[in-house]
Structures are given as structure tokens and as C-alpha cells.
Structure 1
Amino acid sequence: MSEARPGVFCLGIATLDYVYSVETMPTRGEKYRSRDLAVVGGGCAGNASVAIARLGGACWLATRLADDLTGDAIVAELNGEGVDTRFARRVAGLRSPVSAILVDAQGERMVISYSDPQMPEDTGWLPRELPEGAGAVLADTRWGEGALAALKLARAGGVPGVLDGDRRPPHPDLVGTASHVAFSQQALREISGEEDPSAGLAKVAAGVPTWLAVTLGKQGVLYVEAGEVRHIPAFAVESVDTLGAGDVWHGAFTLALAEGQGEVAAIRFASAAAAIKCTRFGGRAGAPGRDEVVRFLAQAGS
């Protein structure tokens, strides 16, 4: 019998994205023509879970959706990617999350998203313990109480609990409860009050025992080790679409931790996966497989 794949329990938002390719971002209230269109699942946790599955990891996704056609499409695509959606809660009478996204010729994006404000905040339906085989937890910031519950499950299970800090954490205990937090530059600026990400990271790190990092896109990743802020550069690629790259990074990083890789190796692995994704249009549709990342790192000398 083959050994079970290391798994990641993910919690957070899953959406349906309409991704339009445009030459430049609109600046006036008039009609524009899209060069391409991808209708694909999205959302921080949704994208990360697909990235994990494509990289060869087992993945369970806890997410809140409506009992509507959009929710059906989101779940069907996740299942098709090999993500276990038994923990997807379907709520009657509401609307599932959806986004309209413009991606310009430089690969930068503009996102207009909708999440139903009536979606219940209660966490009573979440599992009391991690699924068998889950070697790490990944939570985003879209549902604070849910993220806190998931990170507490990681602590109880003695496995890494990673917070995708792409927005300012909505619950004051999230950063301290996580074992690892990787901020976006904006979220780090908001929580630290510092414009310089190195200074901001050092400031936040002084108050918590959590391992901290900040992802800076083309500028790479800063992380704290032994009280010092260190830097790992990004891989140089020709970006076509950056949509979902951060989510792919977090999924790959958490899977690497679940596999027993150290943080520096996990950063390199995650950065390679995100770099490959940026070379492809269509949001998470461009998330790579494991063999692609291994070849990419070998060619890069990592």
C-alpha cells in the first residue's frame, strides 16, 4: 500500500471568477472589449486548495457558500481538481461569492468582488478535530472566527497553522494563534503602521512568537529568522497574469511545511509555484503541477 499524501486543511473563501484580459485598465465610463475570458474558481482558500491538490497534496476545504448555481459550480470545479469539499457549508437563500477581474497587458489586475453580508459567522458546524492525514492548516482572513477556529485545530493537532494575511487580520488573536503568518505588503503596512516592509515586519515580530514573512511580488519575500529580517529574491519571469499568485504561494508554502520542509526551502518551493502561475492567464487555472515546479527549481539551480 502506498504512503498517504501529506494533507492540508484549508479554511476561507472560495469564489467564482470572471477574468477578462484587457490591454489597459479602464479609466472612463464607456464600453471596452476584452481580448480573452476565463470563468474559473477563485478566492484565497479556494485557489490555495487547488494549488495544493495539483502539487500532489491531499486537501480539505472548509468554506461558506450559498445553495445556488454559483455555489454548485464552485464545488464542482473544486471536486474536479481533487479537493475534498465535505466541509463546504451551503446556506439557503443567500448568494455565493463572485468576482469580476480585469487583467491588463502587464499582468496586473483589478478585482471587483461580492460576498453576501448575510453569510452566517458561526463556527459550530466546523470539525472538532483535523481530518486524518492533515499535516498543516491554512486559513485566510475573510472569516475571522472561522480562521481562529482552524488555527486552534492546528495547535491542538501539533501541526503548522498558517495564516494568509492578505488583509489586516479581523480578529486580534489570529497572528498570535498561527504558527506562521505570511502578510501581503498592504496588510503588513496596516497592522504595523510602517511604510517600509522590513521595519513593519520587525515591529510585528517583536510582539509575537509567530514565524513571520511578507510577500512582495517581484521583490521576493522578507522573513524573520533569529530576530533578523532576511530576504529571498523572487524568480524572474515574464508575467502574464498575477491573479491568484499569492494564493498559490500560500498553498505551496503550507504543503511544503506539511511535508516537513523548513521555512526557507518552503519559501523557495512556493515562490517557484507562484512564478510559474504568473506566466499563464486565467487565475488559478495557471497553477502548476509538482513536476513543473521540480523542473523549474532544477533549472534555477535550487
Structure 2
Amino acid sequence: MTAFIRPSLILRMDLDERLFNDECVSDIKRSYSYVAPSLVQAHKPVDGQRPENVMRFMIKLHRAYWDSSDEAAQQLWEGVMPKWLHNMFSKVSNTITAANNVRAENGQPAFSYHWLELEFGDDALVAVKTGSDSSFPADAVDMVERVRDLMNAGALGQDIACVRIPSRASYEAQLAAAEQAQAEAAATAEQDETAGQTAEQPQVAAPADTAELDVAEPADAAEPAAAPADAVADQPAEPAFAMPELPAFDVDYGTWGIEYADGSVREFDAAAGAFS
């Protein structure tokens, strides 16, 4: 019976408003048209947060499937959802890669999605941090199943607005550490390069009496030649806004953020199965 049941999917992209334009919307809808219908909307940057784009899976299945205490719902979940989610994650991840390859061929930067949100009807919203290349975690399906088990057991509390993996606080701390490590590595590389250049410079003896030297400066050395007007016109225009490049690092998904309807957040240690 469950072999013939499939959820429906709508993709909703929520973009930083500085990236939102008609061309961007058309590109997104064209890229994902074979996967699912796509909606594109914009949001204003949030104070104190980095610009981010969010891809949401709006999952529709007109049968009960979330409540594990309901035998029929549990059978439907086991028979349908894990395999379907795995297939959709793979298909959408491949589409993100293909779309960014096309952008690279056209000399455009990759279009990043910073969070993957999974909306299971009115039952749950799960937000998972994507990789630096917008890829989905290999064990994302396992994360979703763990969330479902814990929510059904009442271990995460009531009135949950979103389960965020990892929590924003955990991710920001990880990102800050990665940025510091990147800055230190860059400083070390610069010092090594400077030291190498100094060691390679030949020793030149100074003239006996520099006061007697009169070196004439070339007439055309004072002012650099201006670029032709046509050459300036041919320069590619700078984009109005470009997403900042963040360091690539392996995200630690161990600390979850349980965000409640009243705006409060509690951190949950997934390995210990308890709040921090």
C-alpha cells in the first residue's frame, strides 16, 4: 500500500533582499522546475546576523505520518518518508551543484543556500545548516528521524517553533573559530613569503658618494598613462551586492537549538539526549 504513496513537494527560497531581482527569480525557477514547483521571496537582513539564503522543503502528505504512537502513521513513515527524503536531498543537492556550475561558466559567483528548512505540515519545522558548498549533510535523514522520535517522546518540550541543527549560537561559535584560524593561517603564510623574499634579495653595494649622483626621472614616469575610454567601458560592472565568502569547515551538528513559540531558545546536546 505505502509503495504507491508519495509526498508532494514545494520548494520555497527565501533570499536576502539585496540578491532578489527578476533575473535571479527566473534562474531559480528554471533550475528547479524539474524537481518541484518553486516559490521565491525576499527578506530584509537581520541585525547582527550575516546575510543568508534559506531553502525550505514544504512537504505535503494528506495522511497522518508524524505521530509514532499511531500505528498507521508509523507504518506510513517507515514505508515512505526516509527513502523519499533521501531521494529528494540527493536530487536537490545535485541541482544546486549543476546550477552553480552554470554560474561559474558565466563568470558568476556560486549562489549559496545557508540553511535547509524542512516543513512537515503543522507537525514540525527542522532547520539544518548546509555545508560551505550548500550541500546537505549526509546523515540529514537520520537527524530528521531523531527529531521525530524525540518530539514524539516529549523530550524537547512543547510549543516548538523550530528545531535548528546546530543552534545558531553553536554555529556562530564554530564560524568565528574557523575565521580566526583562517586569519592566522593567512598571516603565517604572508610572514613566510616575506621572509623568503628577503632571503632571496641580492646584496648590492652602496655607491661611494651618493651626493654626487644625479639620476634624472623619466618625463613620463610621474603620471601613469590613463586607460583608454573604451577599455574602461569594457570593464565588467561590479555586482550591486555579493554574499561574503565564509571559510569552509566541517560543521559540528551536535548541539541543537530548540526554538519555542514564545521566542525562547534552549540548547540540546544530541549525543547526551538532554538539554545543556
TM-score bucket (shorter structure): under 0.3
Structure with the larger strand share: 1
TM-score by length of 2: 0.24
TM-score by length of 1: 0.23
